[in-house]
């Protein structure tokens, strides 16, 4: 039997333990009666509401509710045996039938254990999200006192694996310890943020977590402390800290996810540039039209929205799915408030994920597991870089970052960009607005049309090219807003 192993980067594992003879170049002969032609990869998602098993990327339908329970238990057991007594306690006289149904669903993975029990054998490539959760949480704990930001990043990545509320599929005997692990991570994040004098981050996180898990009493106490430290026990009257672009933008759009400090900054910007709120609304309207175009005429079924911002009316997944049911969307942002609010609103869809990520590290964005679950980089992707690139300074080499983010996109992929251009503004007005952003968590670097067009290098502009966002395929005649330019480009 001849196997061409080109492209199989795991070939040494794939052929390990078998007699292998090199015939020529990269072609091998596997001399074995039971050579496996492909490596079967079994993946379990047990964190969050949705229990899902996939073999080689295809979901396995497990109809028998007992078998689903058993598969959950086996996945949570980390390969250890579930013995006959436990099977009896869980399934009573149905135990035998349940084991059989689970075995039928995953014939190679559910194995009989030594005496009347069973265990799960996923092999070296198998994946259970709980294991990754534990690894990340363990790593976060290990570096907590030395590197708080690395620790927080790992904690957040661990939480990213949870797709919503505590699992319903899992029997209580295993669900409760799992919940305890989730609660511990949440408490540790809140404690760290409180210790770092970030009460607003704690308030946002904890409110959301309590909405998902009202029984988490210890967090209520932490929330009380955070509110007291923020100077607003029970009210939103006073805010301190720095304004954040996501919340300033939310204010311009008429949203409610902003604090007094953001509203003050927004009013200052409006005093300098009265068109600022119109520009925000025009930018958002462009995003909606661009997504509609991408999902419709552009044929895009998967979207990556970097610098996604706070949820608003007409979110990207809503527009995309109205056009193309089943479209998948991954929202990426580096603002923890955006992530928390995003998850609160979007968490219940299996086709949508909100992940933390920074445009300054495109490789890390592509490495996010949730992203890789939802986005197949071999298929055309719709990438949105709207209202975010002007938060990258020249020193960060934003052109190289965008090139890196989009490097692997196949032909047919589309990229939408919007960017601040202050060429039409009075110099004094632009300077006053920029000064407000300088005091916020991120500075703005407006760019010229030529500079903005450079972000689309390697993409052919879709008609009408780079224009004021209000001029890009408008639905109705709208007053022109010139200070934000937008374009969509197609990879050819």
Ligand X SMILES: C[S@@+](CC[C@H](N)C(=O)[O-])C[C@H]1O[C@@H](n2cnc3c(N)ncnc32)[C@H](O)[C@@H]1O
Tokens 């639905």, located at residue = 475
Beta bridge partners of 486: 418, 467
Secondary structure of residue 192 in the 3-state scheme: helix
Question: Using CA atoms, how far apart are residues 416 and 294, in angstroms rounded to an integer?
Answer: 9
Residue 385 C-beta: closest distance to ligand X, Å: 8
Q: Which is nearer to ligand X, 15 or 330 (CB)?
A: 330
Cβ–Cβ under 8 Å, residues 351 and 390:
no
Q: Which residue is nearest to ligand X (CB)?
A: 309
- Longest CA pairwise span in the chain (Å): 81
Residue 388 C-beta: closest distance to ligand X, Å: 4
Residue 30 C-beta: closest distance to ligand X, Å: 46
Tokens of 210: 């309590």
The neighbour count for residue 486, using CB atoms within 10 Å, is 26
Q: Which is nearer to ligand X, 98 or 332 (CB)?
A: 332
Q: Which is nearer to ligand X, 109 or 388 (CB)?
A: 388
In 458-483, which positions are buried (b, 16+ CB within 10 angstroms) versus exposed (e)?
ebeebeebbbbbbbbeeeeeeeebbb
For the CA atoms of 214, 217, 218, 224, the dihedral, rounded to the nearest 10 degrees, stands at 80
Q: Which is nearer to ligand X, 278 or 333 (CB)?
A: 333
Residue 290 C-beta: closest distance to ligand X, Å: 10
Residue 360 C-beta: closest distance to ligand X, Å: 5
HEC string of 253-312? Answer: CCCCCCCHHHHHHHHHHHHHCCCHHHHHHHHHHHHHHHHHHHHCCCCCCEEEEECCCCCC
Residue 336 C-beta: closest distance to ligand X, Å: 9
Q: Which is nearer to ligand X, 188 or 443 (CB)?
A: 443
Written as one string, the DSSP assignment of 380-423 is --EEEEES-GGGS-GGG-HHHHHHHHHTTPPTT-EEEEEEE--T
Q: Which helix (H) or strand (E) holds 367?
A: helix 362-367
Residue 18 C-beta: closest distance to ligand X, Å: 46
Secondary structure of residue 52 in the 3-state scheme: strand
Question: Using CA atoms, how far apart are residues 97 and 436, in angstroms rounded to an integer?
Answer: 67
Question: Using CA atoms, how far apart are residues 23 and 29, in angstroms rounded to an integer?
Answer: 6
Residue 391 C-beta: closest distance to ligand X, Å: 4
Residues lying near ligand X in the complex (CB under 6 A) are found at: 245-246, 249, 283-284, 287, 306-309, 333-335, 338, 358-360, 386-388, 391, 442
Residue 416 C-beta: closest distance to ligand X, Å: 9
Q: Which is nearer to ligand X, 84 or 150 (CB)?
A: 150
Q: Which is nearer to ligand X, 249 or 421 (CB)?
A: 249
Q: Which is nearer to ligand X, 14 or 282 (CB)?
A: 282
Q: Which is nearer to ligand X, 205 or 333 (CB)?
A: 333
Alpha-helix runs per DSSP H in 107-259: 129-143, 148-160, 172-195, 199-212, 217-229, 245-252
């Amino acid at each position: 039997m001849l196997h061409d192993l080109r492209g199989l980067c795991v070939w040494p594992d794939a052929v390990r333990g078998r007699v292998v003879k090199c015939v020529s170049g990269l072609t091998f002969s596997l001399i074995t009666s039971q050579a496996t032609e492909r490596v079967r990869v079994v993946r379990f998602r047990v964190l969050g509401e949705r229990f899902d098993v996939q073999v080689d990327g295809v979901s396995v339908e497990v109809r028998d509710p007992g078998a689903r329970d058993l598969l959950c238990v086996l996945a949570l057991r980390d390969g250890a045996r579930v013995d006959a007594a436990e099977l009896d306690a869980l399934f009573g006289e149905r135990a035998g039938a349940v084991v059989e149904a689970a075995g039928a669903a995953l014939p190679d993975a559910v194995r009989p254990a030594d005496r009347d029990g069973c265990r799960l054998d996923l092999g070296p490539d198998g994946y259970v999200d709980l294991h990754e959760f534990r690894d990340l949480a363990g790593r976060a704990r290990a570096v907590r006192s030395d590197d708080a930001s690395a620790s927080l990043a790992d904690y957040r990545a661990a939480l990213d694996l949870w797709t919503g509320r505590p699992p319903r599929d899992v029997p209580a005997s295993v669900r409760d310890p799992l919940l305890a692990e989730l609660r511990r991570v949440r408490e540790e994040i809140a404690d760290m943020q409180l210790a770092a004098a970030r009460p607003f981050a704690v308030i946002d996180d904890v409110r959301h977590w309590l909405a998902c898990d009202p029984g988490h009493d210890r967090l209520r106490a932490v929330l009380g402390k955070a509110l007291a430290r923020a100077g607003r026990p029970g009210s939103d009257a006073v805010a301190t800290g720095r304004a954040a672009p996501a919340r300033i933008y939310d204010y311009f759009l008429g949203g409610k996810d902003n604090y007094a400090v953001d509203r003050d900054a927004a009013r200052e910007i409006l005093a300098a540039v009265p068109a600022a709120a119109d520009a925000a609304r025009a930018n958002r309207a462009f995003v909606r039209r661009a997504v509609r175009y991408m999902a419709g005429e552009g044929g895009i079924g998967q979207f990556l929205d970097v610098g996604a911002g706070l949820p608003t009316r007409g979110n990207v997944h809503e527009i995309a799915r109205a056009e193309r049911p089943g479209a998948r969307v991954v929202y990426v942002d580096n603002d923890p408030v955006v992530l928390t609010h995003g998850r609160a609103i979007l968490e219940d869809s299996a086709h949508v994920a909100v992940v933390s990520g920074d445009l300054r590290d495109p490789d890390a964005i592509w490495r996010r597991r949730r992203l890789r679950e939802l986005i197949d980089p071999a298929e055309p992707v719709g990438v949105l870089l709207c209202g975010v690139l002007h938060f990258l300074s020249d020193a960060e080499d934003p052109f190289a970052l965008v090139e890196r983010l989009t490097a692997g996109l196949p032909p047919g992929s589309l990229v939408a960009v919007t960017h601040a251009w202050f060429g039409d503004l009075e110099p004094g007005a632009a300077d006053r607005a920029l000064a407000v952003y300088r005091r916020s968590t991120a500075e703005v670097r407006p760019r010229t049309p030529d500079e903005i067009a450079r972000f689309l290098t390697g993409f052919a502009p879709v008609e009408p090219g780079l224009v004021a966002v209000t001029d890009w395929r408008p639905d109705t005649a709208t007053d022109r807003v010139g200070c934000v330019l937008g374009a969509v480009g197609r990879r050819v």
